[in-house]
Structure 1
Amino acid sequence: MGPAIRAASLRGIVPLVEQLGGEPHRLLARFGIPADALESEDAWVPITEHDLMLDAAAAELRCPDLGLRLAEGQDLTILGSLAVAIQACSTVAEALETGSRYLYAHSPALRIAVEPDPYERQGVVALTYSKDLRESSYSPQATELGLGLFYRVATTLIGSMSGLRSVELPHQPLSPVRRYTDYFGVDVKFGRATAALRVDRRILDEAFATANEAIRLLALEHIAQRYDDPARRVSTQVRGALAEALGTNPPAVATVARLLALHPRTLQRRLAAEGTGFEAVLDEVRRDATHRHLTTTTLPLGQVAALVGFADQSTLSHAVRRWFGCTPRELRRDEARALTTLSR
């Protein structure tokens, strides 16, 4: 499995899809997500398929605010042990630092951070939410789910978000703008560089009534024992190296091994110990990059083939059919049609 996310992220998807007149188990099966994974929120599902499923459901069920609706029914507990650690922090700043450091226990592909205000306003910071696009394609619905939940969690922990200045989203509005302003209670800006909540810096100093250092440390120890930090995995390092070099250098094991200061045989042994291999990781990186280029750009197919390291367009077509069960043109057309449906 490539980059994944805890199944808890889909809490509420089954009743929501049923309410909208859809068939949730058929929808999940279409994207290779086992229905029983949702019965155990500690199960993991591929984040690319998780996000594709959300975007497809929103389009097919004519529910452009599907991500926000899911967020409305979720809370901090979807983070499992990380939720316990966050609630036990002493301040908002410590909670954000803890969430950022240990978010891999929920999904290693996601990031939260405190960054300077994009408009350079004094006394304002941006609480950013993003996905590593080298790992998985951008998803508008998954972004709205994540940022919507981020807002709900912050409101619950602090008690009020009176210091919220505005909300930033990288994509254009999927729903009427009023839907966003009703949800967040402030101005929402679209087409921005990163999804973010812009807040008064003073919020970072807010203290939690639930602070308990002993519980926080116990929860973090549990996370460290139960979950592998993906930053330490060789497969993660190989994915990063391949994503950076794809389309510019031949994706050879010897080249990547040299970048990681390892002998090629040592690299292969370590990958095998993690249950994968060089070719499998390369295939996942190519699949995710191909999907991103085909669904977010209008680049000619020959150029897409070159960008993902294929010798020709024919090789690309065979790979896309194996990965997605359709041709590159069909994948691009279906995605464009779904986006058109959402914009109506």
Structure 2
Amino acid sequence: MIRAAGLRGFVPLVEQLGGDADRLLARFGVAPSVLESDEALIPITVNDLLLDGAAAELGCPDLGLRLAEAQDLTILGPLAVAVESSSTVSEALTLASRFMFVHSPALSIGVEADPWGRREVVALTYRKDLHESPYSPQAMELGLGLFHRIVVALTGDTAGLRSVEIAHQPLSPIRRYTGFFGADVKFGRPAAALRVERRLLDMQFGTADDTIRHLAVQHLAGRYPDPARKVSTHVRRAVAGNLGTGRPVITRVARLLAVHPRTLQRQLAAEGTSFEAVLDEVRREAAHRYITTTDLPLGAVTALVGFTEQSTLSHAVRRWFGASARELRRAARRGGGTGGPDVSR
């Protein structure tokens, strides 16, 4: 999931480009009312398909960058307060990395060694967990573009940016990227990143406030439990990582997590779920992704989601989405949104 704040500015931008925002939202199964609250949650695959679909329909290859220009740090909600009140860039990045799951558990940022081996340079990386959702060029450009704008706004320093790394090939003319970032941009790279001078990490913020930062961190830690600490999250990752490699049974997952199957079931029950529920959710999301974003034969999809018979997949898809797999695929191709995740509330 991702907070609806990530689509802030989407409706006015679409209208500015001459498009029909309500029709585009309906096409991907998003109720307009969802965007009225920053805290509303949207499946991140739906969010990203909406961005890619809107860019294609409106003939706007730089839609992600344009949306980044309309956003700022405040889309991160309570996390923005902790970041802005940090003492240094390094501390802000540490807090953003720790609590990025509040905005979306599928997204992460980090500070890594320079991919080009320069000791005086570090890479500020921006990643999406592709086990959770397919790669989206427009969403990646939006996220990296916003990351850049936030760093510049907080530091007031553009001189420290050496270059920008993007995993996909350019969607727009190169000058659009260099104009946006004010630096060289390299494409087809292993990960999206801003290559900055290491000295920027020690830069102090004029907005630093220890009291406010402490209260903000307390609020984040108290209200938003880290999903990485939940047993169901570990089970979900284990199931997703092994889906399609064998029959997904609790004994196998328990062995991977080094616990007894009965203990694992008790731990999941304490979190209000079960192994069967987690498995069903992972299969549902994987099936929707394979059916709507690839041309894989349904027999291959059957194996990839861990079913042995295509008829089992057919019954599950009908139960999950109220449509057959072929109907779901046809709807996705024509942009109808039939059978997609329900994000109307």
Could you tell me the TM-score, scaled by structure 1's length?
0.86
Q: Give matches, 1:53-72, under 5 Å.
A: 53-72=50-69
**What corresponds to 1:222 in structure 2?**
219
Matches of 1:296 and 1:46 in 2, distance apart? 15
Match of 1:256? 253
Q: Answer whether contact 1:239 1:281 (CA < 8 A) is retained.
A: yes
Give the equivalent residue in structure 2 for 1:132.
129
Partner in structure 2 of residue 39 of structure 1: 36
Change (3 A) 1:254 1:29: farther
How far 1:21 moved relative to its partner?
A: 2.4
Give the counterpart letter for 2:174 in structure 1: V
1:52 aligns with 2:49: yes
| Map of 1:241 onto structure 2 | 238
Would the aligned equivalents of 1:27 and 1:53 in 2 still touch at CA under 8 Å? yes
Distance 1:334 1:115, change over 3 A: farther
SS in 1 for 2:303: helix
Q: 1:30 to 1:315 in 2, by over 3 A?
A: farther
Structure 2 residue 8 is matched with structure 1 residue 7 = no
In structure 1, the residue matched to 2:96 is 99
Alpha-carbon displacement from aligned partner over 1:95-132 (angstroms, at most 9, x marks no partner):
10110011111111110000111111221111000111
- Cα contact 2:231–2:268 (8 A) shared by 1: yes
1:110-259 equivalence runs, <5 A:
110-259=107-256
- 1:209 is aligned with what amino acid? G
Q: Partner amino acid for 1:60?
A: E
Quote the residue 1:342 is aligned against: none
- Taking the aligned partners of 1:191 and 1:156, their CA distance within structure 2 comes to 27
Give every structure 1 segment of 4 or more consecutive aligned residues whose post-TM-superposition deviation is greater than 6 Å: 294-298, 331-335
Letter in 2 for 1:252: V
Report the secondary structure of 1:96's partner residue: helix
Distance 1:238 1:145, change over 3 A: same
* Percent of aligned pairs sharing the same letter: 66
1:17 to partner: Cα distance: 1.4
Distance 1:325 1:312, change over 3 A: closer
Residues 267-306 of structure 1: matches in 2 within 5 Å?
267-268=264-265, 270-271=267-268, 274=271, 276-290=273-287, 302-306=299-303
* Cα offset, 1:47, TM superposition: 1.2
Q: 1:20 to 1:266 in 2, by over 3 A?
A: farther
Contact 1:294–1:331, Cα closer than 8 Å, also in 2:
no
User: What do you get for the CA RMSD once the two structures are aligned?
Assistant: 2.6
Structure 1 position 81 matched with structure 2 position 71? no
CA deviation map 1:136-181 (0-9, x unaligned) = 1111111111000000000000002211111111111111111111
Q: Which stretch of structure 1 is more off in the superposition, 162-171 or 293-302?
A: 293-302
Q: CA deviation at 1:29?
A: 3.0
CA contact (8 A) 2:292 2:329 kept: no
Unmatched runs of 5 consecutive residues or more in structure 1: 336-344
Aligned length: 332
The residue type equivalent to 1:305 in the other structure is: T
Instruction: Measure the CA separation in 2 of the matches of 1:272 and 1:28.
Output: 36
Does the Cα contact within 8 Å between 1:137 and 1:288 map onto a contact in 2?
no
Q: What CA distance in whole angstroms lies between the structure 1 residues aligned with 2:141 and 2:55?
A: 12
Q: Which amino acid aligns with 1:197?
A: L
Separation (CA, whole Å) in 2 of partners of 1:50 and 1:120: 35
Q: Is the 8 A contact 1:248 1:309 kept in 2?
A: yes
| Contact residue 111 and residue 122 of structure 2 kept, 8 A | yes
The residue number in structure 1 matching 2:338 is none
Q: Secondary structure at the match of 1:112?
A: strand
Contact preservation (8 Å) 1:89, 1:213: yes
Superposed displacement of residue 313, structure 1: 4.9
Alpha-carbon distance, 1:23 to partner = 2.2
Secondary structure of the residue that 1:8 maps to in structure 2? helix
**270-279 vs 28-37, greater mean Cα deviation:** 270-279
Measure the CA separation in 2 of the matches of 1:102 and 1:181. Answer: 30
d(CA) in 2 for partners of 1:149, 1:143: 10
Gaps of 5+ in 2: 336-345
**Counterpart residue identity of residue 238, structure 2:** A
